[in-house]
């Protein structure tokens, strides 16, 4: 029982809701929504869903070698036999790292194939090696079941598990990676894939390199004592301007890149809707303006002004300091989560031109002046 005592606290009742991984046993370093601890021959996986307020609302899974019988003391836990070789990945943040790790043969199905940018995944879809098991938010029950998958990774919803997924009888694992506001915390979810697939060594090496480079870049900025340019983000949509909260993922990237985010003191982790008048009053004089936009063609200042003539009053617009993330060209939503070091380097290169002069931008670039 020593391993159990070290790994998690529990009552004498065999109730899965009473298990809790202790801080000292947690193998995760940055992620706040997932904990992993070694128990006997397997691992205990503890997930904190975005809306849960207590341990009782957290989900627990036992990752156990498929060659071994599960001890009776774990009978109340949901068991996932490892290594998992047949996966349904309903989010690009799940299948993208598997491709990079060379585990394409483990991906049996994905969702929303029409939005896939990655050339390897598109080829697998065309060849029929990967099936589209969900489209427009609707799950194709028969197609999903026909894959004979061992595990489905899905984005959880406060309304509960979709009934279609429940009916498949396949093991389901919620994947709330998008709720992590720390760039390294979000990236560390790739290590969970390592424990599921038995490739911990490979995912740990990858993550260690990403974390080391991210922290080196952050320290580089901190040591320079550089002036912090002000920055705002996003643009108006249907009469509202959704700004990243002051504790959000993007706000943290701005801070680590040495920028002064105008709404850094806003306490939200998510996006906050403001009217454009409020944006103009507080943020129109910001030095930089980061926008995300999905366009198959080049994007221009003229197009930006065409969308809303008020944009022309922004200092960043006038000085041609708009930072563009063209999500339809750079695969931002497929890959950037696991490359926060690259995202950070992009911003440092743009915000502080004297640093990282040799860096080639990947996800963000200064929007080029028209006709140049």
Average pLDDT value for residue range 225-247:
94
Determine which of 16-20, 34-38, 169-173, 207-211 has the lowest per-residue pLDDT on average: 16-20
Rounded to the nearest 10 degrees, the angle between the axes of helix 340-351 and helix 200-224 is 20
Q: Are 316 and 259 in contact (CB under 8 A)?
A: no
| pLDDT at 95 exceeding the cut of 80 | yes
Q: How confident is the model at residue 3 (pLDDT cuts 50, 70, 90)?
A: very low
Q: What is the pLDDT of residue 4?
A: 47
Q: How confident is the model at residue 157 (pLDDT cuts 50, 70, 90)?
A: confident
Does residue 83 have a cis peptide bond before it, meaning omega lies within 30 degrees of 0? yes
Share of the chain above pLDDT 70, in %: 92
Q: What is the pLDDT of residue 56?
A: 43
Q: What is the pLDDT of residue 19?
A: 72
Task: List for the chain the helix, strand, coil content (%; round to 5).
Answer: 40, 20, 40
The SS3 of residue 188 is: coil
Average pLDDT value for residue range 71-89:
95
Domains annotated on the chain, with CATH: 1-74 (no CATH), 214-366 (3.40.50.1980)
Cα angle 271, 272, 277 (rounded to 5 degrees) comes to 135
| pLDDT at 150 exceeding the cut of 80 | yes
Q: How far is CA 64 from CA 41, 89, 93, in A?
A: 7, 20, 24
């Amino acid at each position: 029982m020593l391993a159990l005592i070290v790994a998690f606290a529990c009552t004498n009742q065999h109730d899965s809701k009473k298990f809790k991984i202790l801080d000292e046993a947690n193998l995760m370093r940055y992620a706040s929504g997932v904990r992993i601890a070694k128990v006997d021959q397997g691992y205990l996986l503890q997930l904190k869903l975005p809306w849960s307020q207590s341990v009782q609302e957290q989900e627990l899974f036992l990752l156990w070698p498929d060659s071994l019988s599960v001890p009776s003391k774990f009978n109340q836990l949901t068991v996932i036999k490892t290594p998992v070789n047949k996966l349904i990945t309903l989010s690009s943040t799940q299948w993208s790292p598997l491709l990079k790790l060379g585990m394409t043969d483990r991906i049996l199905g994905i969702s929303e194939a029409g939005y896939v940018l990655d050339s390897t995944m598109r080829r697998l879809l065309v060849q029929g090696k990967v099936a589209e098991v969900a489209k427009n938010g609707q799950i194709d029950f028969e197609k999903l079941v026909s894959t004979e998958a061992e595990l489905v990774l899905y984005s959880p919803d406060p309304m509960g598990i979709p009934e279609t997924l429940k009916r498949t009888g396949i093991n389901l694992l919620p994947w709330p990676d998008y709720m992590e506001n720390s760039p390294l915390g979000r990236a560390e979810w790739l290590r969970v894939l390592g424990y599921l697939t038995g490739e911990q060594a490979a995912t740990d090496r990858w993550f260690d390199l990403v974390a080391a480079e991210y922290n080196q870049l952050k320290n580089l900025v901190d040591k320079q004592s550089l002036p912090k340019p002000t920055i705002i983000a996003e643009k108006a949509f249907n009469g509202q301007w959704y700004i990243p909260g002051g504790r959000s993922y993007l706000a943290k990237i701005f801070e680590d890149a040495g920028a002064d985010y105008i709404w850094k003191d806003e306490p939200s982790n998510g996006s906050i809707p403001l009217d454009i008048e409020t944006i103009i009053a507080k943020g129109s004089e910001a030095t930089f303006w980061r926008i995300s936009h999905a366009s198959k063609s080049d994007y221009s200042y003229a197009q930006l002004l065409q969308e809303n003539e008020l944009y022309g009053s922004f200092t960043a617009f006038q000085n041609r300091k708009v930072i563009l993330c063209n999500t339809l060209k750079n695969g931002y939503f497929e890959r950037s989560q696991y490359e926060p070091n690259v995202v950070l380097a992009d911003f440092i290169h743009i915000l502080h031109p004297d640093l990282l002069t040799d860096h080639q931008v990947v996800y963000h670039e200064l929007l080029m002046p028209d006709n140049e």
